[in-house]
Amino acid sequence: MNKWSHWSVLALCLGGAVALPVGAQGLRMGNTATTPKAAARVPTPAPALVVAEADHIVAVVNSEPITRHDVRARLARLQPPEGTALPPRAQLERQVLDRLVLERIQLQQAKEQGLKVDDAALADAEAAVARQNRLTVDALRERVQAIGLTLQGFQADLRRDLLLQRLREREVDSRVRVSEADIDAYLAERQRAAGLAQTELHLAQVLVQVPEGASADTMAALQARAEHVRQRAQDGADFAALAKEFSEAPERDNGGQLGLRSAERYPTLFVEATRQLKAGDVSAVVRSGAGFHVLKVLEKRATGLPEAQYTQTRARHILLRPNAQLSEAAAIARLNGWREQILSGKTTFETLARQHSQDGSAAQGGDLGWASPGQFVPEFEQVMDELAPGQVSMPLVSRFGVHLIQLQQRRQAELTPAQQRDWVRNLLREQKTETAYANWLRDLRAQAYVEYREAPQP
């Protein structure tokens, strides 16, 4: 995903795996299919991108128009990564328009299938965004309006993203299967390719796409174009400039950079093409189902085996569940008071947990036992991971109530064979899902009628 992919008002990352219940504790992960899987960042005010200009239609998608106002409105909500310069305005507008076209095609598909997001699901998702930003829903709404957005607009964006996610789950995610044979093959390949897991790669690419059903002459012309790019790159031309000029991949405006990651997380085709190359080298032209690729190794370095070990955490918590007699604000105030007593030495965390926690761990003084990453809900785990041993958190609002957390210990644990297979299963599912999603989007786009229109002449 390139760095301009986060179009929604809160840079929502919706979708993906649904965590299953793993224990009786209230804060264990439950079904989160209708809430963002990663923390949604509340944006800070950015320079306004909207200018006064007459509106007109810039594209038609299956007879449904997209106007210049639609593009400018989305631009106004775009939050680039901190410290990153925006591309030239014309390029940025075209990227936004292309994204709106794909989005509109998907929304039309969702409508045809009768998919809807009801008010209850919207409220759950809004509450999830608030929790992940450590805010109440009211505080989140105040923040949204403080940066110049309307509550109605924010909720419309959130509803749209949920609808897109449900469509993806139905059409793509639910159809992806990872078999035991897939896992066996992956492990066997990993053993054969000794050292692959210990290698991190940072590649950049120029992709020359090949349309489906292309003739032999067209294929030859496109391959010649890719060879031309490769030769210029090997002759010392700036690869980032080549990517912007020739590539048809989403990351072209980022110099074609695909990011630093484990070699295992790159397509096998890319790994094999760059196996013998060093940083700065350019590969031969590589043919894939998408087209012809020219790859440049920006960085290659050895690393450890992070998947062989993982960090386990042991913590205590006190949970208060707001109700008609105890508001969320009152629960926060009560936990703040207890925190002060703990820090001053007047009592212990364990004692207060036994006396007051409304969780099943109260009898153990709030002790949650040794926990592995992903075992707790994200909003709880995020705060816990930031604590040092012995440190007590500020009150935290989660989907289960209000918590006070004390970190006790951390330790390194080895993955068991079963855990390694689960890790591989998740990795393969992620890879297959992303590939399937890209192919599905490409097919949807190919089946749609899309007409781009020029700006009206004065």
Q: Which of 60, 50, 130 is nearest to 89 (CA)?
A: 50
Write the single-letter amino acid at 271: V
- Cβ atoms of 12 and 40 closer than 8 Å: yes
Q: For residue 200, tell me if it sits in a domain.
A: yes
CB–CB of 357/319 below 8 Å? yes
- CB-CB neighbours of 428 under 10 Å: 18
Residues 299, 321: one domain? no
**For residues 400 and 59, what is the distance between their CA atoms, to the nearest angstrom?**
45
Q: What is the pLDDT of residue 163?
A: 95
Confidence band for 104, pLDDT divided at 50, 70 and 90 = very high
- Ranges 4-8, 84-88, 98-102, 248-252: which has the least confidence: 4-8
Per residue in 337-353, pLDDT (tens digit) is: 999 999 999 999 999 99
Per the structure, the complete domain to which residue 213 belongs is given by 196-304
Question: In total, how many domains does the chain have?
Answer: 3
- At residue 257, does pLDDT exceed 70? yes
Q: To 5 degrees, how large is the angle CA 193–CA 438–CA 217? A: 90
Tell whether 183 is covered by a domain: no
Burial of 373 (0-12, 13-18, 19+ CB in 10 A): exposed
Q: What angle do CA 248, 253, 256 make, to 5 degrees?
A: 65
Instruction: Give the CATH number for residue 402.
Output: 3.10.50.40
pLDDT at site 49: 41
Verify that 18 and 138 share a domain, yes or no: yes
- Asked whether residue 38 carries a pLDDT value surpassing 70, the answer given is no
Based on the domain organization, do 3 and 145 belong to the same domain? yes
Domain end position, chosen among 251, 277, 304: 304
The answer to which of 18-32, 160-174, 397-411, 442-456 has the lowest mean pLDDT is 18-32
- The band of 12, judged by pLDDT with boundaries at 50, 70 and 90, is very low
Contact call for residues 308 and 321 (beta carbons, < 8 A): no
Average pLDDT over residues 318-331: 92
Q: Is the dihedral of CA 356, 362, 364, 365 positive or negative?
A: negative
**What are the structure tokens assigned to 165, written together?**
């996610």
Mean residue pLDDT across the chain: 82
Instruction: With cut-offs at 50, 70 and 90, classify the pLDDT of residue 2.
Output: very low
- Domain membership flag for residue 238: yes
CA distance 319 to 400: 8
Residue carrying structure tokens 């390949």: 189
101 versus 301: the higher-pLDDT residue is 101
Same domain, 261 and 235: yes
pLDDT, tens digit, 9 for 90 and up, residues 118-172? 999 999 899 888 877 778 888 899 998 888 888 998 999 999 999 999 999 999 9
Q: Is residue 388 part of a domain?
A: yes
| pLDDT of 362 | 95
Structure tokens at 29: 């992960």
22/170 same-domain check: yes
Q: Higher pLDDT residue, 301 or 304?
A: 301
pLDDT 10s digits, 333-389: 999 999 999 999 999 999 999 999 999 999 999 999 999 888 898 889 989 999 999
pLDDT exceeds 90 at position 4: no
* Range 31-52 average pLDDT: 42
Instruction: Please spell the DSSP secondary structure of 391-446, one letter per residue.
Output: -BPPPEEETTEEEEEEEEEEEEEEPPHHHHHHHHHHHHHHHHHHHHHHHHHHHHHH
Higher pLDDT, 13 or 434: 434
Question: 117 with 35: CB under 8 angstroms?
Answer: no
pLDDT-based confidence at residue 310 (cuts at 50, 70, 90):
confident
